[in-house]
Amino acid sequence: MSNTPVIGVLALQGDVREHLIALASADAVARPVRRPEELAEVDGLVIPGGESTTISKLAALFGLMEPLRERIAAGMPVYGTCAGLIMLADKILDPRSGQETFGGIDMIVRRNAFGRQNESFEAGVGVTGIEDGPVEGVFIRAPWVESVGAQVEVLAEHGGHIVAVRQGNALATSFHPELTGDHRIHALFVDMVRAAG
């Protein structure tokens, strides 16, 4: 890889465009990923917010479930926001029937834990590894992390609940930094991808 990593955004459903913009402004080459051939060409992958049950169904339909699980297991850096965090959980507490995840982070998540759409909110969140003050966390029907395994580093909590974690090359936040102008978390992820290359 050159110093400019190529980072994909899983483009099945969700706020793909916002992540493409945030990654580009954090000095990565960003492109949408829908097919296994496209997945094979990227150095890292963002899994956006949206609806995890839909992303799960479409990933199966597009033949991405197994290739993506394999790449994550092989150490490809991944970053999931909100529904993307759910997709990276090894276990969901309250899955819809048939809902599967890619896994990669040894954690149990609770979907919609912070309430419904009209209970969405913003809050400053201090994140380990992010300097110069808290990030603006946008929580939209956000999950929280109920519990984590020993290999998982908790990077942030809000209201006593875990909202950001990292395990090896997998990073996840309950909130949506791509919806703010603050791209420090994307920059952290781009650094993770560079370091892995």
CA dist 136 and 124 (Å) reads 5
Task: For the CB of residue 157, give the shortest distance to ligand GLN in the complex, in Å.
Answer: 19
Q: What three-state secondary structure class fits 60?
A: helix
Q: Which of 158, 178, 183, 186 is catalytic?
A: 178
Query: Is the Cβ of residue 43 or residue 81 nearer to ligand GLN in the bound state?
Result: 81
Query: Is the Cβ of residue 27 or residue 103 nearer to ligand GLN in the bound state?
Result: 103
Burial class of residue 102, CB neighbours in 10 A (0-12, 13-18, 19+) = buried
Task: For the CB of residue 195, give the shortest distance to ligand GLN in the complex, in Å.
Answer: 27
Query: Is the Cβ of residue 45 or residue 86 nearer to ligand GLN in the bound state?
Result: 86
CA dist 59 and 83 (Å) reads 13
The pair phi, psi for residue 40, each rounded to 5°, is: -65, -20
| Relative orientation angle of helices 184-196 and 16-25, to the nearest 10 degrees | 70
**183 catalytic, yes or no?**
no
Task: For the CB of residue 121, give the shortest distance to ligand GLN in the complex, in Å.
Answer: 12
178, 19 contact by CB (below 8 A): yes
Task: For the CB of residue 57, give the shortest distance to ligand GLN in the complex, in Å.
Answer: 12
**66 catalytic, yes or no?**
no
- Footprint of ligand GLN (CB under 6 A): 49-52, 82-83, 86, 111-112, 140-141
**178 catalytic, yes or no?**
yes
Query: Is the Cβ of residue 66 or residue 119 nearer to ligand GLN in the bound state?
Result: 119
Q: Which of 158, 176, 183, 186 is catalytic?
A: 176
Rounded to 5°, the CA angle 190-194-197 comes to: 140
| Relative orientation angle of helices 65-73 and 52-61, to the nearest 10 degrees | 100
Q: Which residues are catalytic?
A: 82, 176, 178
